[in-house]
Amino acid sequence: MAFILWILAVALVIFGIVQLFQEQLLLGIVCIVVGLLIGPGGYSIFNRSKA
């Protein structure tokens, strides 16, 4: 499951960067932020602790 989320995060960030170059700023920023949220290196919305 973690590998699939990592692949999805990478795809979203790459798509966001492409959108930024095509002057779709809002969509690009949203894709990059969502990619960073679900990626394993950042704050993952799928691995929240129940503290």
Confidence (pTM): 0.75
What integer pLDDT is reported at residue 37 of this predicted model?
85
CA 50/CA 29 separation, integer angstroms: 29
The Cα-based distances of 31 to 3, 48, 49, 51 in angstroms read 19, 21, 24, 29
Digit-coded pLDDT (tens) for 7-48: 999 999 999 999 999 999 999 999 999 998 887 666 655 665
Angle at 37 between CA 32 and CA 38, to 5 degrees: 105
Contact present, 26 and 16 (Cβ < 8 Å): no
